Amino acid sequence: MSFKHAPLCARDMNKHWTLQKYLISPLVLLLLSLASAAQANDQTTTTTRVLAPSLEVTPPRCVALHQGQICYQSAQLAWQAPQAGRYCLFISNDAQALKCWEHQDIGNFTFDFQSPHTLTFRLRNMHTHQDLVQTQLSVAWVYGKEKRRRTSWRLF
């Protein structure tokens, strides 16, 4: 048996290792840069702060068949504040809160809406007793008030 290739000597091994080192180094640098970019991206998404309070109701409208009828709907209220604190959710000028949150800067509440009229919801900071933001759940209807029909005939 004869070998066409002689076994690698120490000099050839050093050349082989140098070649691997130059090929592996850019690959390792590329992987490290991708990992650090992903980590920086995660940090920017988690450190995004709310600058102004917000309060949203979904859906923003309840539709009844006739004007003046009670409209029934389940609504989702979602709020955010710039900093954690004690916040309460109120309807219009009611003195009793629907729900309160302690040491929170975000919250959700499901409200079973049953009203013939538009309602205004307010988010209040309970430390300052100041309304921060408000939103409305409006009522719309398919048909307006029934008008009194004029008869086409008269007796006199």
Q: How many domains does the chain have?
A: 2
Give a yes or no: residue 153 inside a domain: no
Instruction: Please check whether residue 34 lies inside any domain of the structure.
Output: yes
Question: What integer pLDDT is reported at residue 38 of this predicted model?
Answer: 53
One-letter amino acid at 79 equals: W
Q: What is the pTM of this model?
A: 0.62
Q: Name the maximum alpha-carbon separation found in the chain.
A: 132
pLDDT: which is higher, 16 or 145: 145
In a domain, 4, yes or no: no
Same domain, residue pair 67 and 119:
yes
Q: What domain range is 31 assigned to?
A: 11-48
Instruction: Mark 99-113 as b/e (b = at least 16 C-beta within 10 Å).
Output: eebeeebebeeebeb
The reply to whether omega before 53 is within 30° of 0 (cis) is no
Residues 58 and 44 in one domain: no
pLDDT tens digit sequence for 58-111: 999 999 999 999 999 999 999 999 999 999 999 988 999 999 999 999 999 999
Please indicate, yes or no, if residue 84 is contained in any of the structural domains: yes
Same domain, 61 and 136: yes
